[in-house]
A and B are shown apart, each in its own frame.
Chain A
Amino acid sequence: MVCGMKLKTITRYIIALTLSLCLITAGCKKNNNTITIKYSTWGSETEINILKPIIKEFEKNNPNIKVDIIHIPQNYFQKLHMLVAANLAPDVMFINNLNMPVYASGNILSDLNYSLSNSSKISHKDFFPQSLKTMSYNKNLMAIPRDISNIVIYYNKDLFNKYNVEYPQENWNFEEFLEKAQQLTIDINNDKKIDIFGISFETNAIFFLPFVWSQGGNLFDKKNQHFALTEKNSCTALQFYTDLRNKYKVAPTAAEAGNSTMAQMFMQQKLAMFISGRWSVPRFRTDLDFEWDIASFPSGKAGSIVGIDGSGWSMYSKTKHPKESWMLIEYLASNKSIAEFSKTGLIVPSRKDVAFSENFINKDLPPEHAEIFLTIIDNGKPTPKTERWNEVIDLINIAMEPVWNGKQKSCPALQSIKSSVNELLE
């Protein structure tokens, strides 16, 4: 009996406490009509420092909207995926083209074509057509692009001068590319250990696909249904790429690079040429104490073709505040906002007006030939889209690892995963 009483009193206390807590929190929430928009993004600290004033400005112009920035610097898509799965997806999500298909096919993202056509502030014409294409999936526009990422060849002018090598010319081909890399691969102290390598080597798809495309090869067939890296043009192009490291020895092996990244090696003048994208510019502008510039990717049988990737702002399809979310996207995609992001040299802007302005092509700041980032857009190739991108890339990486390490030829290695990749593409 005594116990029963006690249990009752305890339960009562607990219920009373919970109820009062509920009342307090409920009371706090509903005091005015402010709408809170959640916006998730990745990015370094500098990038977030550019973003914050833009958001503040937006909140000042729209006093009834508050933007809650969810900054996820590491493993962004892993965490976003969990948020989406838990029905907690942010109203506005910053995404990139490679991870977009998963969300697009899961009906997580709104088609923004209609909103963009009817907007008074931004329109289709403001953006590079290629950039909009990158952000589209089955003809639906899944994000308003912020930037285009494509790759060029950074080169150390001082090293080129020191070893009397002519700078890369426009329309240079792979023979000239290899020749320059060979001339700039140098063992300074004759200890049989190379001190300066001609060219960087990275095994991510964005770095090896330009070799494939420029030689007339392809990743998938036209309908994205079959694996095409096994075709002769494709796999011989990849063989050339791995030969740079294993046959001509003009690029560092994984062990030769050790724990240093390619960017670090370029900065330490251990690399004469470095394949990379626009994102390297801010750091190079402040940290490099030698002369440097950029050149376009060399031309092969099919010309000089690099990939076009990009990132942009998309809207959650089940957002409770579509109007306010679109207002935020409109603001972020305005000339003013994109110009802020582009000013430091971080991005190739998706907007033509920013790209063709002093902001991007600034003759006072390196690289001298910044316009190359823009001229290569027309010829560029949006990376093919598949929901199973991560798995396809993992299969390719596993198959290619012995090839990158010089133990196997590229064509048979790729042939061995052909059926598995085709299965994923079905």
Chain B
Amino acid sequence: MNYLNNIRNKLFLKESFWAAIMILPALVGTFFFIIIPVIGSFTISLTRWNLISSPKFVGLDNYIKLLSDQLFYDVLITTFIYAISVVIFSIAIPLILAVALNEKIKCLTAFRTAYFLPVITPMIVAAIVWSWIFDPNNGILNFMLTQIGINSPPLWLFDDKWSLIAIIIVSVWKNIGYNMVIFLAGLQGIPESLYEAAKIDGANTIKKLWHITIPMLTPTIFFVCIMSTISAFQVFDLIYLMTEGGPENSTMVIVYWLFKNAFEFFKLGYASSIAYVLFVIILILTLIQWKLRKKWVMFE
């Protein structure tokens, strides 16, 4: 008995040792490039620092200033409008497409590839091409709108009422393919037998969709929902490339605002405090989603 225990202990020791070795590279990376900066930026958020002169400790001043800054609330509202619209559309549209492309239709691969193309297009290319599409004078979008009889089409990126909508369109367009592929994978995991049973019971297509497909897909939808929300709150590249927050701050989202404070005005302390507020917001939203999950996600 004792002998056996000894062997098991040794084996355990050996396995855990190798496990530690295996995760060490990832752990070192996480420690140096995530844990340390996270703690570091919290410290910076308590100071006033422009990177060049020595940092000055100011306590919670940055947070107080942030919460009394009107621009912060405007930025927050813009970010929420953006995030909510992007999440809704980049779940609904890919879901419909995935269900459609899960059927045996002609040129299936061609369709799937077409919808996936935006995902592999680099953001910089997409942003430049889209800003030309949106151009009010030479852009193809307004050209087509005038062709179908709309006399004064929107000025898109040059109008503070339309600029955010334009950005949302591009974002959704970019997300569709990726989410669609995840939904397709989810759809393929639904056993055929369920549909057969439903067919025997006389269910039509709509009923099958509503009572089998969607409930079986809720874990996937939940995953896509959380990931899209997080990435929507972190949107930066599109804004940086297409509008720089304008016109009249109509597309100023929180991460771009943070970037401007940090790397244009070199207000590192203020920028770090924005980062922490953003962290808290995303944390709360994710917690809410986890809590609500029990209400609508099935088969867990």
Residues of A within 8 A of B (CB): 3, 78, 81-82, 84-85, 102-103, 105-106, 108, 253-256, 258-260, 388, 390-391, 394, 398, 401-402, 405
In the complex, A82 Cα to B17 Cα: how many Å? 40
In the complex, A381 Cα to B6 Cα: how many Å? 86
**Do A255 and B136 touch (CB < 8 A)?**
yes
Q: Which residues of B contact A260 (CB under 8 A)?
A: 137
| A interface footprint on B80-102 (CB within 8 Å = 1, 0 otherwise) | 00000000000000000000000
| A interface footprint on B1-43 (CB within 8 Å = 1, 0 otherwise) | 0000000000001100100000000000000000000000000
Partner of A81, one of B13, B51, B249: B51
**Do B266 and A81 touch (CB < 8 A)?**
yes
Query: How big is the B interface, by class?
Result: 20 to 34
Partner of B52, one of A108, A256, A258: A108
Partner of B264, one of A3, A78, A85, A398: A78
Instruction: Return A35 CB to nearest CB of chain B, in Å.
Output: 26
Measured CB to CB, the nearest residue on chain B to A108 is: B52
Residues of B within 8 A of A (CB): 13-14, 17, 50-53, 131-132, 135-139, 155, 158-159, 246-249, 260, 263-267
In the complex, A256 Cα to B158 Cα: how many Å? 9
In the complex, A78 Cα to B52 Cα: how many Å? 12
**Do A84 and B131 touch (CB < 8 A)?**
no
Instruction: Return B40 CB to nearest CB of chain A, in Å.
Output: 13
Partner of A405, one of B14, B51, B135, B248: B248
Q: Which residues of A contact B249 (CB under 8 A)?
A: 398, 401
Closest CB pairs A-B (n = 6):
A106-B52, A85-B51, A255-B158, A255-B155, A258-B137, A258-B135
**Do B158 and A102 touch (CB < 8 A)?**
no
Show 26 A/B contacts (Cβ-Cβ < 8 Å), sorted by A: A3-B13, A3-B14, A78-B263, A81-B51, A81-B52, A81-B266, A84-B51, A84-B52, A85-B51, A103-B52, A105-B53, A106-B50, A106-B52, A254-B247, A255-B159, A256-B136, A256-B137, A258-B158, A259-B131, A259-B135, A390-B266, A391-B267, A401-B246, A401-B249, A405-B247, A405-B248
Q: Given that A85-B51, A258-B138, A259-B138 are known contacts, is A391 also in contact with B247, CB under 8 Å in the complex?
A: no
Q: Given that A81-B51, A258-B136, A258-B158 are known contacts, is A102 also in contact with B266, CB under 8 Å in the complex?
A: yes
DSSP majority for the B interface? Answer: loop
Instruction: Return A14 CB to nearest CB of chain B, in Å.
Output: 12
In the complex, A390 Cα to B262 Cα: how many Å? 12
In the complex, A253 Cα to B136 Cα: how many Å? 11
Q: Given that A254-B247, A258-B138, A259-B132 are known contacts, is A391 also in contact with B265, CB under 8 Å in the complex?
A: yes
Instruction: Return B18 CB to nearest CB of chain A, in Å.
Output: 9
Instruction: Return B285 CB to nearest CB of chain A, in Å.
Output: 28
Q: Which residues of B contact A253 (CB under 8 A)?
A: 158
In the complex, A108 Cα to B136 Cα: how many Å? 46
Measured CB to CB, the nearest residue on chain A to B128 is: A259
Q: Which residues of B contact A402 (CB under 8 A)?
A: 248
Q: Which residues of A contact B53 (CB under 8 A)?
A: 105-106
Partner of A254, one of B158, B264, B265: B158
Measured CB to CB, the nearest residue on chain B to A75 is: B263
In the complex, A123 Cα to B134 Cα: how many Å? 54
Measured CB to CB, the nearest residue on chain A to B267 is: A391
In the complex, A144 Cα to B14 Cα: how many Å? 66
Instruction: Return B297 CB to nearest CB of chain A, in Å.
Output: 43
Instruction: Return A342 CB to nearest CB of chain B, in Å.
Output: 31
**Do A394 and B248 touch (CB < 8 A)?**
no
Instruction: Return B22 CB to nearest CB of chain A, in Å.
Output: 14
Instruction: Return A201 CB to nearest CB of chain B, in Å.
Output: 13
Instruction: Return A405 CB to nearest CB of chain B, in Å.
Output: 7
In the complex, A330 Cα to B156 Cα: how many Å? 51
Q: Which residues of A contact B247 (CB under 8 A)?
A: 254, 401, 405
Q: Which residues of A contact B135 (CB under 8 A)?
A: 258-259
**Do A258 and B139 touch (CB < 8 A)?**
yes
**Do A82 and B51 touch (CB < 8 A)?**
yes
In the complex, A405 Cα to B136 Cα: how many Å? 16
In the complex, A391 Cα to B263 Cα: how many Å? 11
Instruction: Return B241 CB to nearest CB of chain A, in Å.
Output: 13
In the complex, A63 Cα to B201 Cα: how many Å? 91
Q: Which residues of A contact B248 (CB under 8 A)?
A: 398, 401-402, 405
In the complex, A401 Cα to B244 Cα: how many Å? 13
